Amino acid sequence: MRFPPLLVFILLLLNLHANAQGDPIDSLKSKLSDCSTVQCKMEALANIGRAFYYLSPDSALKYTELGLEVALLDTTNMDSLYYESYNALLNNAAFINQKKGNYYDAILLYQRSIEAFVKFADSGSSSSAYLNIATLYNEIGETEAALDAAKSFNQGLSTEDNNALGHCHVLLGDLALKTDNQEQALNHFNSALNFFTLDDARAGKAEASCRIGQVYFTRRDYRTAQLYFRDAFCFAEQSLDAEAISLSAYHLATVQRKQDNTDSAIYFGKLALQHAVDIQFPSSIRNAAFLMYEVYAATGMTADALRMHVLYKEQDDILRNQDAVKIATRQQLKADFEEQQAQERAEQERLKLIQDEDIRRQKIYTWSSVGIGTLFLLLLLIAVRSYRNKQKSEQQISAQNKLLAVKNKEIESSIVVADRIQRALLPTTERWNNLFPDSFIFYRPKDIVSGDFYFTATNGNYTYLACCDSTGHGVPGAFVSLLNISFMNEAISDRKITEPGEILDFVRMRLTERLTDDQTNEGMDGILMRFERENPHTLCYSASNNRPLVVRNRTAISLNTNKMPVGKSGLPGSPFMTSEFQLEKGDLIVLYTDGFADQFGGPQGKKFRYKALENLLSDSADASCVDIEKSLNDTFTFWKGEIEQTDDVLVIGIRV
């Protein structure tokens, strides 16, 4: 049989790939033997498992499960690298179990992976876990569950994550085909091809091209289908992905057979079968064997046809067993769902009983309060009447006025003392300059004491800076700020919590414990940043409502924030996310509360607005920090004019 030059070139590539399989595994095992830490062993075992995947799924699963066992040997340093390796092992184990037909075990492993991603607050990685479990649900026929998982996957994607977006569109296209919506499926597959092309993901381009070719093959447009199948085959060969090679070769064989190109059909059919056997995929082996059986039978090659039919039946029996496993998995998932619903109903009933008891107690408190209030009102009326009877002369009124003036002076003196106490909790000028030598603080309380505050703390190599706005201003705001400072200091200094998001979670928890009144919503909005001495250009932060700014090249970059306050009105069970941002030399980091932007003033008596504040900071970013602070002060004073100050004002800037 003669082959076109392209096929000869592809065959040479296959031989080169096959000869290169042994070396990487030996190298990876050598790296494993050199590992002395749990982290290193986890990474090495995950890589060995991936390398064994196409050669021996059982060996791949053995090394992956060994990696999961190693991960539990030492959990004292569960940092980002630990979670990255741990979740790679979980996903590898789930994927191998899925390919081996252990669907329920695979689902449990994917769910563990998602839980670990959520704990680590890595939305991009949790998105990939949702894609894997969506693909599995699709494979076992749970279409609705697959769609739900696909939606969760899509919500966590970055618009720059082209490879993930490509896989998402492949999945959505497969789901569209299940409802016989070919046009929608074709749109998704073309979108997937575009996204894979942006990242030059060759295995992905092969998969998307195969899907497009399948749609045209279904429409009996064999010429167009063949073009896409040939593209897929070339992409697969370039990627050296055995699964992609087998799939694209199989589709090329089917379209060649439809066009009566028997020699090409036999060549590509053998190639598809060879790679399917190499990776031990029963469905691919069965499809290729049945295709070869039909071709051999049509050309009178009876013995070969019989051999292919026997192979087809063997693999078909395996797949029938897998179908039974899929049905059992769906039944188990249904049972798990019903059990979960029963638990939720029981929990709801328990909560209702607690709520009913709270309502009964509240009624008792309400009626008691009414009785006490009525008694207090009567006593007040009696006191007022008695007071009026005693006011018989101007001298008595004058004496009362003097007494009131004394009381007012005492109150004002107390507030001044409170201001000294509050300022004592703020960083001293010397400490601030040591921590942030090139910086400014524009701090203008509305009253003597303030609900706005700034806070610094150190923990090992970490330095923390907070810019916060407590509920209220004046004396009430100051009291809340004292609580917030105390709880933040407890989280960092006493509890040794390092992640900014977890620190805000702790402050919220402590506020909820201390402020038990249901009508009390005291808390704060704010920004908490963490600077690392050994890695000064990586900014780690968590924000509540207020957005941090980074001014770079006179352009303001608005960073992410959590749309909830640190207090009882926060979303129940929603943790504060910790984010990172890479700084550059010369960047100006800006933290601020809402006081400056919400100040009324100007010609029309309107708010200053956040956009105007960003523009002001961008325009003056090249100036020194002293000049920026002066610009803020001059602008605020001019804008406010004769109008009363609306709220406490705090703006902090730090030059990198």
Statement: residue 452 has pLDDT above 90: yes
> Alpha-carbon distance 247 to 275, whole Å?
9
- pLDDT higher for 330 or 475? 475
> Alpha-carbon distance 68 to 63, whole Å?
9
Q: What are the tokens at 80? A: 């980002």
pLDDT tens profile 131-147: 777 778 877 777 777 77
- 204, 196 Cβ separation under 8 angstroms: yes
In the prediction, which pLDDT does 16 show?
Answer: 33
Q: What are the tokens at 64? A: 């992956």
* Averaged pLDDT score across all residues of the chain: 82
In the prediction, which pLDDT does 388 show?
Answer: 78
In the prediction, which pLDDT does 331 show?
Answer: 63
Statement: residue 345 has pLDDT above 70: no
Average the pLDDT over each of 88-102, 305-319, 428-442, 596-610 and give the range with the smallest value.
88-102
Continuous segment of H or E residues that includes residue 66: helix 57-71
In the prediction, which pLDDT does 329 show?
Answer: 67
In the prediction, which pLDDT does 14 show?
Answer: 34
- Residue 269, helix vs strand vs coil: helix
Statement: residue 545 has pLDDT above 90: yes
Q: What are the tokens at 206? A: 């092969």
- 578, 500 Cβ separation under 8 angstroms: yes
The band of 330, judged by pLDDT with boundaries at 50, 70 and 90, is low
The band of 419, judged by pLDDT with boundaries at 50, 70 and 90, is low
Beta bridge partners of 467: 454, 527
pLDDT tens profile 278-326: 887 788 899 999 999 999 998 989 998 899 999 999 888 887 776 666 6
- pLDDT higher for 374 or 187? 187
- pLDDT higher for 559 or 400? 559
Q: What are the tokens at 600? A: 């009324």
Of all residues in the chain, what percent carry a pLDDT higher than 90? 40
In the prediction, which pLDDT does 323 show?
Answer: 63
Average the pLDDT over each of 92-106, 383-397, 509-523, 576-590 and give the range with the smallest value.
383-397
In the prediction, which pLDDT does 409 show?
Answer: 65
In the prediction, which pLDDT does 480 show?
Answer: 87
Give the amino acid at 11: L
In the prediction, which pLDDT does 499 show?
Answer: 96
In the prediction, which pLDDT does 619 show?
Answer: 93
- 494, 421 Cβ separation under 8 angstroms: no
pLDDT tens profile 50-86: 888 767 888 888 898 898 888 888 777 777 778 778 8
Average the pLDDT over each of 8-17, 82-91, 238-247, 566-575 and give the range with the smallest value.
8-17
Find, among 566, 583, 395, the residue nearest to 483 by Cα. 566
In the prediction, which pLDDT does 111 show?
Answer: 81
pTM: 0.41
The band of 594, judged by pLDDT with boundaries at 50, 70 and 90, is very high
Measured CA distances, 416 to 99, 199, 318, 473 (Å): 72, 63, 83, 15
Average the pLDDT over each of 39-43, 75-79, 414-418, 553-557 and give the range with the smallest value.
414-418
pLDDT tens profile 349-404: 787 777 777 677 767 666 756 666 676 677 677 766 767 777 765 666 565 667 66
C-alpha triplet 220, 222, 228: angle, nearest 5°: 120
Find, among 583, 516, 532, 580, the residue nearest to 553 by Cα. 583
Torsion sign across C-alpha atoms 341, 343, 347, 352: positive
